[in-house]
Structure 1
Amino acid sequence: MERRFKLEHPLDADPRRQEAHSSLRRSSVTEVLAHPEVHTDLPGPRSRELLARRDKAFEGPLRNYINVPFVLGEKHGHVLTDVDGNSFADHVSAWGAAPYGAQPPSVRDAVATAWDRYGMEISQYLSSEPVITLAERLIDLAPAGITRVAPTVTGTEAVEGAVKLAREATGRPIILGFLGQYHGESTYLTATTSTDMPGNTSHYTQYVPGVILLPYPQRFRAPFHRGPGPHDDTLCLDYLREWILRYQVEPEQVAGVLIEPVAGEAGILAPSQAFWDGLTGLCREYGWKLLLDEVQTCMGRCGTVFAAERWGLQPDLLLVGKGVTGGGQAVAGVLGTEEMMANAHAHLGGTYAWEPAACAGALAGLDLLADGRILANAKSMEAIAHEELSPLIDELGQVGDVRAAGAWACLEFVTGAGSTVPDPAFQHAVHRAALRKGVFAISEDTKPLYRMQPALTMELELFRWSCRQVADAARQVSAR
C-alpha cells in the first residue's frame, strides 16, 4: 500500500514570516505527497543513454557512474527526479551549494535582479553595493575578532589564500594539516588533503613542501590502538607535542594549523571540546594561527551559523564557501582578524570573485538563515539521525559507528563487530539498496562511509523516512 505523508517546511508555521519566506516555502514540497519511488532498473533506459554519451565526452574520473547510476531530470524542494521518472529524497545537493533545497525563489530573484542591474563585473576592481554589504554581513555573523574579508570564487581558493596569509603574517613556512580532511583540488592543497582515497593525491604530492600531516582526532579509531573506541581524541595532540615537535619540526617554524571543525569527507568527525582546548592552547603557546576551514560547515550545516560556535572557537582565519551562496552563484572567501588581513599584501580572488549577482543571492540566503527555525530544523535532524540510525551499532556488526552534526549524518561500515577494518563493499551495497528505496546520499565505492547531507530545510518527516530506508537497506545487505 502506498504510504503518503504531509511534509511541513520549518518556516510554514509562523504567519509573521509568511511574506518574507513565501518564496522559500514555494521551493519546498509542502503538500501531501507520496514518498520517493524507483520504478526502473538503475540506470533506467534514458539515463543509460545519456551516461554512455557522457562516457565518450568527459575525462577519466567523470566516466564512472557506479556511485550515481542515473541522470538528473529535475528537482523540486528536497526531491530529485531522474530522466526516467524515478524519484529520490535528496541528501546530496547540499553537499555542493543548495542549503535551502532546489531553486529557493528569493535567492533566484535576487540573483536575477542584480544581474539585470549590474551584469558581470570584476568586483575587486569596481565595487558595487551587494559586494560591500555581503562583506559586512559576514563579519557581523562571524566569531569574535573577525573584522576583514577577502573574496574568492571557490573554497579551494579560500584555503590557498589562507595559507598565503598565514605565512605572510608570521614569516614562517610550515602548515600543520590533518589526515582525512578535504581542502580542494589544486596541486598544493592535495598535499593537505590526504583522504582515505590516496588516488586523489597520486603522482604529485611528493613535490609539495611545507605541509606536515597529523591524524585527525576521532574517537572511533585511534593511531597505535587496536579496536573501536571510544578513544581519547586528545591523543593526536600528544603525538603532535611528543613526536612531531620533538623529531620533525621546531614549533617556531609553524605558521598555522589548517583544520576543518568537522571533517566531512572523513565521515562527519567532530572533535571533543578537550581536543579544541588543547589545540588552541598550543596555538597560543607557540604563536600558531588557527585556520578554520568552514567551507562545508558554515551557514548552519552543523546547527549553528558557524561550526566554530559549537566549541567557542575564535579563529585567526575563517574560510567560507558552499552554503554561503544560498543556492545561487559561486561565492567563497576568507574572513580574518585585523592582525591577519588589514595590511596584508597577499592577493586573493580574481576575475569571477564576488560577482554582484552572486553576492545578492548570498545576501538573500543570509536572510533565510536569519530565521532561527532553520537552525532548529538542522539540530532536529541531528537528533533524528541518532534516534533512527545509532541503534544499528548494536544490531548489525557491520555498522561500526554512526555520527551526526546538525544536518549531517554518517554511517561507517566495518567487517564485523569489534572491528575497525573498513568495509567499502558493504557500504556501497547499502548505498545501492537505499537508491532502490528512493534515498540518494553520498557514497564512494572505495570508502566505508555513507553520508547524508540534506538541505537545512528538509522536512523532518522526509528526513526520518530517509533514515529508516537507509536502516532497512543496511539490514537487507547484512542478511544476504
Structure 2
Amino acid sequence: MASALTPLLQSRHIAHPLPGPRSRELQAVRDREVTSAFGSALPVFIDRAEGGILLDVDGNRIIDFASGIAVTSVGASNPFVQARVAAQLEQFTHTCFMVTEYEGFTEVCRWLNAHTPGTFDKRTALFSTGAEAVENAIKIARAATGRPNVLVFDEAYHGRSLLTMAMTAKVNPYKLGFGPFPEQIFRAPNAAPLRWPGGAENATVEALAAVETILADNGPETFAAMVIEPIQGEGGFLVPAPGFLAGLRAIADAHGIVFVMDEVQAGMGRTGTLFASEHDGVVADLMVTAKALGGGLPLAAVTGRTELMNAVHTGGLGGTYAGNPLACAAALGVFEALEDGTLLAHATTIESVVRARLEPLLDSVDVVAELRGRGAMLAIEFA
C-alpha cells in the first residue's frame, strides 16, 4: 500500500527553536488535560515519523535516538509494518484469541519458536506489554516449579506493574510512593565491570559467589525463577562481565531454577543479533520480548520450553488484548523487515562508527569513564 505522503528527508533540520510555537500551544493544552504524573523528555509534539526522523508540528526534523523507547527498531512507519497493518485493518481490528482465533497470532508464535535461541521444542504466549509478559513469565515459572521466590539483579528494570516494580531496582521514579510491593523478590549484584568493588577482572567470580550465597541463605529449592536482562536498558546499557550470564545459567541448572531472559529492550535486532543473549551464547528457559517486536503497536511474548509453557492450566494465561490482530500483523511486518539481515548489519555498523569516534575519548578526556554496549545499544558514561 503506497503512501501519498512525500518521503520524509532523513536529515536534521531545525526551522524553529525547540519547542516551536505550535508545540508550546499544544503543551499548554497537555498541561490542562493530562495528569502531571506523565513525564516528558522533550516538550515537542510530533506530526509525522519515518525511518529515524521525527517531524514536529513546527516543521522541525529531529533525529529519533529514542525510537519510542526501543520500539521502532525497524524504523518509524516501516513499509512492511504499514502494509501488514493496513491489510489487517480492512479485515477486523479485534477478536479475543481466547474466544475466536486468528492466524496472525499463531504465525507470530511460530516465528518466535523458530528464531529464539535454543534447539528444544518451544511454545509461545502473546501479551500486550513487556511488564505483562514479565509477570506471566513468573506465573509460568511458579506453576512449573511450585516454588514462590524470584531472583533479580541490581540496576534491573522489568516494568511498572506492581510485581515488576518489585523486580525493578530503581526507586525514583518507578517505585516511589507505590508500595508495599509483592514479597518473594530477592536481589543479587550484577557483574557490571566499571563499578565492581573488587575490580573488573573479579566481577564475574565474585558476583556469582554472591548469587550462590543469597540462594543458600534463603533455600535454593524455594526459587522459581532467575530473571535478568542480557544488557540492562534502564540500568545504563550495562553489559555483564564475560562469563556472568553463563555462570548464572549453570547455577540455575544446578538448583532447578527457571532461567528467564528479559529481552524486552535489547532484543529484536537492536544489538546486531536478533537477541542480545546470542552474544554470550547463553540460552534461557523462557525469553521475554516486547517493544520492537510490534514495530510500534503493543505486543509482547513469552517463548520457552514446551514443558514449562504448558505447565499452566488451560485458561491460566491470556488477556483481552493479548496478541491483538493488528499488533500481530505489525510483528509479521517486523519479521519481514529483519529477514534479509540488512538491519542487523546496520546495527553492527552503527557500533563501529560510534566506537571509532568515541573510544579515543577514554584516553584523552578524564571524565569519560566507559563506552559500552553492543550494536546500536550503546552508552557513554561520565564520572
For normalisation by structure 1, the TM-score amounts to 0.74
Look up the match of 2:323.
354
Letter in 2 for 1:183: H
Q: Does 1:374 align with 2:349?
A: no
Distance 1:300 1:344, change over 3 A: same
The 5-angstrom pairing of residues 330-409 of structure 1 reads 330-345=298-313, 347-409=316-378
Give the partner amino acid of 1:182: Y
Q: 1:40 to 1:364 in 2, by over 3 A?
A: closer
1:83 is matched with: 57
Q: Which residue in 1 is equivalent to 2:34?
A: 58
Residue aligning to 2:86: 112
Question: What's the CA shift for 1:147?
Answer: 0.9
Q: Which of these residues, 148, 160, 168, is aligned with residue 123 of structure 2? A: 148
- The answer to whether the 8 Å contact 2:143/2:312 transfers is yes
Structure 2: runs of 5+ lacking an equivalent: none
Instruction: Encode CA deviations 1:64-118: one digit per residue, 9 max, x unaligned.
Output: 54x3132223222211122222222111125242122121122112112122123
2:211 to 234, 240, 244: 240
The answer to whether the Cα contact below 8 Å between 1:318 and 1:335 also exists between their aligned partners in 2 is: yes
Output aligned runs, 1:215-364, within 5 Å: 215-222=189-196, 224-225=197-198, 229=200, 232-242=203-213, 244-247=214-217, 249-327=218-296, 329-345=297-313, 347-364=316-333
Q: Deviations over 1:248-294 (max 9, x none)?
A: x1111111101111101111112134112211111111111101111
| Secondary structure of 2:117 counterpart | coil
| 1:221 shift after superposition | 0.4
Structure 1 position 41, deviation (Å): 3.0
2:45 maps to 1:71: yes
Residue 186 of structure 1 pairs with residue 161 of structure 2: yes
Equivalence for 2:135: 160
Identical-pair percentage: 34
2:187 alignment partner, one of 207, 213, 217: 213
Which residue pairs with 1:93 in the alignment? Answer: 67
Alpha carbons of structure 1 residues 264 and 324: separation in structure 2 relative to 1, 3 Å: same
- Alpha-carbon RMSD across the aligned residues, in angstroms, is 2.3
C-alpha displacement of 1:148:
0.3
Shift of 1:234: 3.6
1:177 is displaced (CA, Å) by 0.4
Between 184-193 and 271-280, report the one with greater CA deviation.
Answer: 271-280
SS of the aligned residue for 1:303 comes to: coil
Contact 2:163/2:181 (8 A) holds in 1? no
The question of whether the paired residues in 1 share the 8 Å contact of 2:162 and 2:181 is answered with no
Matched, 1:47 2:18: no
| TM-score with structure 2 setting the length | 0.92
2-side partners of 1:86 and 1:221: how far apart?
Answer: 39
Structure 2 counterpart of 1:147, which letter?
K
Please give the per-residue CA displacement for 1:367-417, whole angstroms capped at 9, x wherever unaligned: 111111211111111122211122222232222211121111112222xxx
Q: Are 1:143 and 1:309, in contact at CA under 8 Å, matched by a contact in 2? A: yes
Give aligned pairs, total: 380
8 Å CA contact 1:181–1:194 kept in 2: the answer is yes
Cα distance in 1 between the residues matched to 2:148 and 2:186: 11
Give the whole-Å Cα distance in 1 for the aligned partners of 2:117 and 2:231. Answer: 16
CA gap of 1:118–1:45, structure 2 versus 1, over 3 A, is closer
Q: Give SS of 2:193's match.
A: coil
CA distance in 2, matches of 1:302, 1:349: 30
